[in-house]
Amino acid sequence: MKNILFAASECVPFIKTGGLADVCGALPKEFDREYWDVRVVIPNYSCIPEHWRNQFEYVTHFYMGSGTYIPSKYVGVLQYKQDGITYYFIDNQEYFNCVVPYGDLRYDIEKFTFFDKAVLSMLPLIGFRPDIIHCHDWQAGLIPVFLKNEFQADSFFWGIRSIMTIHNLKFQGIWDVKTIQGLTGFPRQLFTPDKLEFKKDANMMKGGLVYADYITTVSDTYAQEIQTEYYGEGLNGLLSARHFDMQGIVNGIDYNVYNPQTDPKIYVNYDKDSFRNKKALNKERLQEELGLAVDKKKYMIGLISRLTDQKGLDLINHVMEGLVDEFTQLVVIGTGDPQYENMFRHYAWKYPDRVSANICYSDDLAHKLYAAADAFLMPSRFEPCGLTQMISFRYGTVPIVRETGGLKDTVQPYNEYENIGDGFSFTNYNADEMLHVINYSKHVYYDRKRQWNQIVDRGMSNDFSWNASKFRYEGLYNYLLGE
């Protein structure tokens, strides 16, 4: 039996702000229980819904300090078992009593430093010795550093391997050296340019990338892109140096949660054989619910996103008037930067029958939009993996994407001459190029309905379940364990 521990800042169904939570919730369930014991550890946030927290069981507690800034503090360990997976929760009221998991960066750095050391400290006490600790994003970045330095004094930890997975390189956990030294207790010699030091500050993500035995990221193209200056966020030199110990493994989605045949959240269920008649019924019901013009002939474009610069929303702003012509509707779901929230509100006010701005995150509404929309727009500046395009395929909704990161790896652009492809894409970060491709997709939708339906067919036949990626992770784990 091989033991794997996932360490992360979020995990469905307990707490979610982004795709990282989906990965940590879905991937562990995919491994064959006969050979793999995969467990997950996250903080015990007070904002985890009560009906979960009431079921957590006490395992143990101890006291632990970390550096001069974190004196001896209480660490509780709780557990909960579901679908054959054991989840651990690190409990400390002072750090994890919160309305949302992230807030003030200085405070986040302190609480995740505490979390990282607590994850290692609890292992001898709970009777679980992982062969590999799989660390996700900067919040878990100090685990490989603690493991290879302070914890090597204890023979329990000898030979435990670590993997660092980059979900989004933009967020790295950077603060001044003096503070991070005070929080971690690391000796001065760890804060050099070949270790944790980064442009005179200290960087938690970099620490993980230096000390982990292996690095993965969430798509093949993103793994290549982050070795270049444009996408590398200042760490491209380090990532290039480690490219032999790095690979991209594309994320999957949970095919039980996202299934138009059985999804209880959509108006009318359908499948690959019945989408031609039934998908449009979802569109009409959503148009009605959102107060848009009810007309199944309208071309409905969906957008579900964090409303930030990364997502290419400035491109949309640039061509919005051309985008929402009399044949087109745009439905937006998301929250983020006030400038983009207000931009979409403005256009919803200006074109109430064409634009619906839902400045919120609603999972129920998201499912309805996946089922109702004809196309899904993702013009990202960069996109490590992206799950939205995979979910779109599942619901017979055609993605229109910029060719970057995981979008390039998962969407095959439509080629009218060979009649292949399952989506539409554009190459340059350019608003006119994006609008041109959107207009081309409309032309296929209206004037070549048979080809359009074949594009949908191909998309719905894709397999982006976790099944394919799981084998790559198993291969990686075996490689690290020398098997």
CATH number of the domain to which 393 belongs:
3.40.50.2000
The answer to whether the beta carbons of residues 44 and 77 sit under 8 Å apart is no
Q: What is the pLDDT of residue 94?
A: 96
Whether 288 and 143 map to the same domain: the answer is no
Closest Cα partner for 75 from 65, 87, 85, 86?
65
Residue 124 lies in a domain: yes
Residue 258 lies in a domain: no
Whether 330 and 192 map to the same domain: the answer is no
Number of domains in the chain: 2
Per the DSSP assignment, residues forming a β-bridge with 74 are: 63
Is 184 exposed, middle or buried, given 0-12, 13-18 or 19+ CB atoms closer than 10 A? buried
The answer to whether the beta carbons of residues 12 and 22 sit under 8 Å apart is yes
Whether 157 and 77 map to the same domain: the answer is yes
pLDDT tens-place string over residues 38-87: 999 999 999 999 999 999 999 999 999 999 999 999 999 999 999 999 99
Whether 84 and 194 map to the same domain: the answer is yes
Whether 312 and 386 map to the same domain: the answer is yes
Whether 297 and 381 map to the same domain: the answer is yes
Whether 357 and 314 map to the same domain: the answer is yes
The answer to whether the beta carbons of residues 355 and 325 sit under 8 Å apart is no
Q: What is the pLDDT of residue 233?
A: 97
The sign one gets for the Cα dihedral 309, 310, 314, 320 is negative
| Sheet strands (E) in 128-240 | 132-136, 161-166, 174-176, 197-198, 201-203, 214-217
CA atoms within 13 A on the CB side of 99: 2
Q: What is the pLDDT of residue 317?
A: 97
Pairwise CA distance, residues 391 & 400, whole Å: 13
Q: What is the pLDDT of residue 277?
A: 92
Question: 287 to each of 39, 158, 284, 301, how far by Cα in Å?
Answer: 43, 59, 5, 12
Place of tokens 């491209």: 236
Whether 352 and 399 map to the same domain: the answer is yes
Q: What is the pLDDT of residue 254?
A: 87
The answer to whether the beta carbons of residues 208 and 141 sit under 8 Å apart is yes
Q: What amino acid is encoded at 4 in this protein?
A: I
Whether 143 and 286 map to the same domain: the answer is no
> If you count them, how many residues does the chain have?
483
Residue 260 lies in a domain: no
Residue 240 lies in a domain: yes
Q: Is the omega angle on the peptide bond into residue 260 within 30 degrees of 0, that is, cis?
A: no
**Strands of the 174-176 sheet, one edge to the other:** 174-176, 201-203, 197-198
Whether 451 and 474 map to the same domain: the answer is no
Q: What amino acid is encoded at 259 in this protein?
A: N
Whether 47 and 89 map to the same domain: the answer is yes
Pairing between strand 174-176 and 57-66?
unpaired
- Domain residues for 51? 2-252+467-480
Q: What is the pLDDT of residue 468?
A: 82
Closest Cα partner for 148 from 136, 161, 131?
161
Which DSSP letter does residue 295 get?
-
Residue numbers in the chain where pLDDT is lower than 50: none
Which DSSP letter does residue 27 get?
G
Whether 108 and 209 map to the same domain: the answer is yes
Residue 264 lies in a domain: no
Q: What is the pLDDT of residue 108?
A: 97
